[in-house]
Structure 1
Amino acid sequence: MKKKYGAKKPELEELGRVRDRISFLYLEHAKLNREDSAIKVLDDRGIVLVPVALISVLLLGPGVDITHRAMELIGDSGTAVVWVGENGVRQYAHGRALNHSSRLLEAQAKLVSNKRTRVEVARKMYQMRFPNEDVSKLSMEQLRGKEGARVRKVYRDQSLKTGVAWERREYNPDNFEASTPINKALTEAHQALYGLSYSVIVALGASPGLGFVHTGHDLAFVYDFADLYKAKYSIPVAFETVKKFGKVDISDNTRLAMRDAFSSGKLLLQMVADLKYLLNIKDDADENFAVMHLWDDKQGLQNFGVQYHEMDED
């Protein structure tokens, strides 16, 4: 008989609640294995045992080697896994969502499928950019124009603040090196922000493709979400990086600066709260505990795991 290692698979009710877990744990240049109900993390400083059931999202950075048994435990514990660049500034792939339920995904799909609620969510996104103004009566066209003016002002203000010359935003995806230093820095900074936004969205079980402002792309919601933070993070970081380093190692220096900004600004925690706010999800909801139902168009949700009998026709 094959020997079984480690503790038995936990029941859903035994897992830590979302609100009681550590939000995110980032690891890099380490070997991960399983020891009983913990992940054994080995790096050049020694060994640490991590109780993975208390982690919401595990971010695996460069240089991580992880065993099949470690992934088995992570999956059983309801912990989301996202493979990222250094300190989360790139998103390469993800495993499962944190949630065992589809609550966020269903809420997002419902909101985006109705014209009225879709506009409401879009307005909430714009309202977050204009906290001191009422945008509830503005059309989408008016909101786009208002946002465009705001972003142009942010560019001008950062140019004046840092002394970095600014003309206009230019980005050629096929020829990165042809851009000016500030446009290179902006591209790198925005990409880092997209990566972190993607990580949060998929880790919490929402869809990166169901956008409210952007549409028709598998990352539409990522662009929606990241736009909330460009004026505070990626744009200032890009200008400060060019001011400090000029043309030297623009890509690396910008990524490192974004990494530090994410950490000092506690952006991950803010993103989690903002995503739930946009999708009308209560902070105290236990999304990791799924309750399976059968859908009925007339009687509403019905019990799952019950043997039903054929109904007599009238």
Structure 2
Amino acid sequence: MLPPLKPIAMKERISMLFIEKGEIDVLDGAFVVLDKTGVRTHIPIGSVACLMLEPGTRVSHRAAALAARVGTLLVWVGEAGVRLYASGQPGGARSDRLLYQAKLALDEATRLKVVRKMYEFRFGEAPPAKRSVEQLRGIEGARVRKTYQLLAKRHGIQWKGRNYDRTDWDKSDLPNLCLSAATACLYGITEAAVLAAGYAPAVGFIHTGKPLSFVYDIADLFKFDSVVPVAFQVAAKAPLQPERRVRLACRDIFRQQKILGKIIPAIEEILAAGEIEPPEPPKDAQPIAIPEEKGIGDVGHRH
């Protein structure tokens, strides 16, 4: 009998692959995509952080189970990857890390410390003293709008602001369409990293009330140093398939910047700013019935 599969650490993986118009299955022990003519394309599923599934894809039970075992996030996206509909969780929040994250988010003092650290991480300088979370959000928003304007000017793009219609993405102008495709790529790999680190995507500090609030918080730390410049570069060239060009460019920049190796350490650094220790398990807690072997993957992966 073969030994159980052990997930590869997130920092060792390639960022993402997009699949459209194919049936995903496990054949002869391999994760494959079959096109309408029956041609197989093998995918090294265990070495991919997330698989983005576009319209026209079908996933078998065996394929979904294998992706979960090797810790690869399946993300169902819209055409050209500009919508995120749902995701299949490859691991998830460990109770100790979830409680730690929730404790930081629920206390206003520790939440403010974490938000201030996010601001410092993102802009390279400490935020003004004695500011509330709401005030920091206002300062951040002004800087973000200014950054968009500067990037648009640098690439010779007419910029009318960040505007899009979630019900009809095609109504967006070219720069906004490229930005939506680029941020969707970043959100996909960020969610995979958050889950691999054992934290809950929904428990955010700046963003709240959404299933991916913490994903948005962490993605924003890297957005303007990675995918936003890429989106403006592609928009400036006005290619025939801008969304596809954006996805390829994002994949390249993720590899160049080794971003999957940076996200989890950034999460730990950000949360450490709350200056509290992760809670100890209660003394009367029931021990684990079936101990798990230590794997080579990240702590959030199911071994």
TM > 0.5:
yes
Task: Summarize the alignment of residues 117-132 of structure 1 with structure 2, pairs less than 5 Å apart.
Answer: 117-132=110-125
The corresponding residue for 2:244 is 252
Opposite residue 257 of structure 1, the aligned amino acid is A
CA distance in 1, matches of 2:73, 2:174: 34
Q: CA offsets per residue over residues 90-131 of structure 1, 9 Å max, x none? A: 766544444684333222112112111111111111111222
Q: 2:184 aligned with 1:222, yes or no?
A: no
- By how many angstroms is 1:273 displaced? 1.8
The equivalent position to 2:178 in structure 1, one of 160, 165, 185, is: 185
Higher radius of gyration, 1 or 2: 1
Percent of residue pairs identical: 33
Once residues 104 and 304 of structure 1 are traced to their aligned partners in structure 2, the CA distance between those partners, rounded to angstroms, is: 17
1:167 aligns with 2:171: no
The SS at the match of 1:82 is: strand
Residues 1:278 and 2:270 are matched in the alignment: yes
Cα deviation 1:126-174 (Å, max 9, x = unaligned): 1112223354643223312221222122112212211112232222223
CA 1:237–1:16 in structure 2 vs 1: closer, same or farther (change >3 Å)? same
d(CA) in 2 for partners of 1:189, 1:20: 20
Structure 1 unaligned residues grouped into runs of 5+: 1-6, 282-293, 306-314
- Quick check: 1:21–1:56 contact (8 Å CA) kept in 2? no
Q: Distance in 2 between matches of 1:243 and 1:261?
A: 17
Contact 1:182 1:239 in 2 (8 A): yes
Rounded Cα–Cα distance in structure 2 between residues aligned with 1:188 and 1:25:
15
| Map 1:1-314 → 2, pairs under 5 A | 7=1, 22-23=12-13, 33=26, 57=49, 59=51, 79-83=71-75, 93-98=86-91, 101-135=94-128, 137-245=130-238, 248-280=240-272, 296=282, 301=285, 303=287
Distance 1:34 1:101, change over 3 A: farther
- Aligned CA distance change for structure 1 residues 222 and 32 (closer, same or farther; 3 Å): same
* The 10-residue stretch of structure 1 (92-101 or 137-146) with the greater mean CA deviation from structure 2: 92-101
Secondary structure at 2:223 match in 1? coil
| CA distance 1:79–1:137, change in 2 (3 Å) | same
Amino acid at match of 2:143: R
Which consecutive residues of structure 2, in runs of 5 or more, have no partner in the other structure? 274-279, 290-303
Q: Is the 8 A contact 1:57 1:98 kept in 2?
A: no
Instruction: Give the whole-Å Cα distance in 2 for the aligned partners of 1:209 and 1:100.
Output: 10
Spell out, residue by residue over 1:189-237, the C-alpha distance to the aligned partner (whole angstroms, 9 max, x if none): 2222222222322333322211111112222222222221221123211
Matched AA of 2:157:
V
Q: Is the 8 A contact 1:78 1:98 kept in 2?
A: no
Maintained 8 Å contact 2:11/2:261: no
In the superposition, the TM-score normalised over structure 2's length comes to: 0.69
Q: Number of residues paired by the alignment?
A: 276
User: 8 Å contact 1:81–1:203 — kept in the other structure?
Assistant: no
